[in-house]
Amino acid sequence: MARIGVLTGGGDCPGLNAVIRAVVRKGVADGHELVGYRYGWAGLLERDAEPLTVESTKGILPRGGTILGSSRTNPYKKDGGGTEAVRAGMAAFDVDVLVPIGGEDTLGVAARLAADGVPVVGVPKTIDNDLKGTDYTFGFQTAVQIATDAVDRLHTTAESHNRVMVLEVMGRHAGFIAAHAGMAGGGDVILVPERPFDIEVVCDHLRRRHAHGRTFSIVVVSEGAVPQEGTLTTSGEAGRLDAFGHERLGGIAVTLESEIERRTGYETRMTILGHVQRGGTPTAFDRVLATRFGVAAAEAVTAQQSGVMVALRGTDIVTVPISEALGDPKTLDDKFFADAEVFFG
């Protein structure tokens, strides 16, 4: 029997509650007790936690967000933080093993703790799908569905007004959300961080469509997309960093709106989808993936594994060293983008 401390760190993601529920259900069935730390690593440093029981996690499977709250707290960057402070936060609630649910930053902390001898089983999450070590993360499919719905809605109003619509989606430095939603929604141009774009080529695609009689177009752009060097000056959120040193992205659609309109003469409007992509209920796929991750995490605790995270490989849930998820992010492969490009212009 172990006392398991669960926490959710980083940006929230549809499916977090499904993981929490599953860890609790399987953990209790295997004879463990569970505690939930509030607001990620902050809960350990501030000794802020609550018991997690089958009763207290009832009804949360379809709920977006996280009942535990989340934050981008880095325990190694806080005064009085570090491994010993985390250990003290565990001891305060008699916790033996941690199950942190998070992205690269949260898992980076988890790996460091494991290296210092703290028992840890990680659960990978991000809507961006940019974590190595797992084929997919839960939350991604929900974000893609929301973005695809947005493309569909923009299509009808674009057609009514003969406009170019630019939709900016999340994804940080990976173009998975843009490429998937763009392909699913039939976008006419898709811009991703992996392929710096030439604004003139973008405009040529749109001109070609119009030359073939189409009077509207949809451009799906990832928040991390960048122009080829020296081709375009962009504004945006540049320079603002979070606790893990990541730049805040967003705003490329503003530049694209004005540049496309100026260069082509086509009336253009932009939409930045933003955190809508992270809100609300997870899709069935993400609920299932999150549930299987949660069950597997509890099983890994029972098997006294540490320094591992659960992962999807093909259709199987496995455990892999947390280190597999760290380092460079996973990015869109060339073939996927080439398939999407078939439909440009």
Catalytic residues: 128
127 lies in the site for ligand F6P, by CB under 6 A: yes
Nearer to ligand F6P, 128 or 194 (CB): 128
φ/ψ of 221, rounded to 5, equals -125, 135
Nearer to ligand F6P, 28 or 226 (CB): 226
Tokens 């320079």 correspond to 239
CA 119 to chain centre: 25
Q: Which residue is nearest to ligand F6P (CB)?
A: 170
Site residue total, ligand F6P (CB under 6 A): 12
Q: How far is the CB of 238 from ligand F6P (least distance, A)?
A: 13
214-243 residues in contact with ligand F6P (CB under 6 A) are: 223, 242
Q: How far is the CB of 137 from ligand F6P (least distance, A)?
A: 10
Nearer to ligand F6P, 154 or 170 (CB): 170
170-209 residues in contact with ligand F6P (CB under 6 A) are: 170-172
Tokens 């569970």 correspond to 34
Q: At CA 143, angle to CA 147 and CA 22, rounded to 5?
A: 160
Both tokens assigned to 21: 């529920």
CA-to-CA distance for 191 and 179, rounded, in angstroms? 8
Q: How far is the CB of 228 from ligand F6P (least distance, A)?
A: 22
- 134 closest CA partner among 300, 310, 312, 288: 312
Q: Which stretch binds ligand F6P (CB under 6 A): 165-173, 262-270, 280-288, 317-325?
A: 165-173
- Can you spell out the DSSP letters for 165-231? EEEEE--TT--HHHHHHHHHHT-SEEE-TTS-B-HHHHHHHHHHHHHTT---EEEEEETT--BPTTS
Among 128, 168, 257, 286, binds ligand F6P (CB under 6 A): 128
Q: How far is the CB of 115 from ligand F6P (least distance, A)?
A: 24
- 268 closest CA partner among 156, 168, 164, 189: 164
Q: How far is the CB of 71 from ligand F6P (least distance, A)?
A: 10
Q: Which stretch binds ligand F6P (CB under 6 A): 50-58, 168-176, 306-314, 337-345?
A: 168-176
For residue 249, the SS3 value is coil
The footprint of ligand F6P (CB under 6 A) covers: 11, 103, 126-128, 170-172, 223, 242, 249, 278
